[in-house]
Amino acid sequence: METDMRLYAVIGCPIAHSRSPELYRDMFKKHGLDADMIRILVEPHELAGICRLAEPLSGFAVTMPHKRAIMPLLDGISDEARSIGAVNIVERRGDELIGHNTDGDGLTDALYALGAELSGRRAAILGRGGAARAAAYALHKRGCEPTFIVREIRDGSSFCEADLAALHTHFDLFINATPLGMDGGEELEASGFLKDMAPSFVMDMVYRRSGETQLIREARRLGIACADGSAMLEKQAERAFRIWTGLEP
């Protein structure tokens, strides 16, 4: 039997931890929409295939590690996503797939909700991937100076000398834009630098189903205002919902 239900997906690797389906289902239900979202595990070598087979989907969200790799596979990309160099939301317009990026604005929305002032402030961003690029773009747009801190490629828990020094320099905000802290993975050991950096706000883009990350626990211990990736996910999902449906969440 045919149905007019709209189907959306979130793709990534890993993907089982994603809260996106629950968030969007709540918004669909609130507006009485006949729609659903599913999780799809997509390995890097499967990415091109999933785009070719995406016809049943009204749109899909993109998470690690595909936010940059998906760009050349799309029919169009928003100016902001192109400037960032990463896509986290794909919209279907007729037969075309159009990429957007709501990560950066979701991050700044979450920081504002924490009470952060961004204009004239300095932010340290751990990472150089799509999420880090989105954070830097959105912060710069709001008058905040971003500085990237990069881990060694061969040893993800190590830092080069210059970046290690930056970790012990004062910044107003610290943002983890790496996978460190995900369920079942390596933690970001924050006790060695967070006290020296003394940020007023900490945002961990990672969220997990099994309690808080070590970064968030350490920030709370030091009395630093903080939030994990759930706060950012909710804010960016609201923006994605507007793109997909034209409705206010």
Cβ atoms 111, 118 nearer than 8 A: yes
> How far, in Å, CA of 230 to CA of 128, rounded?
20
Strand ranges (DSSP E) for the chain?
A: 6-12, 35-41, 57-62, 76-77, 89-93, 96-100, 122-126, 145-149, 173-176, 201-204, 225-227
The side-by-side arrangement of strands in the sheet containing 225-227 is: 145-149, 122-126, 173-176, 201-204, 225-227
CB distance 220 to 226 below 8 Å: yes
Distance of CA 75 to the CA centre of its chain: 22
Active-site residue, 30 included: no
Catalytic residue among 67, 141, 195, 235: 67
Active site members: 67
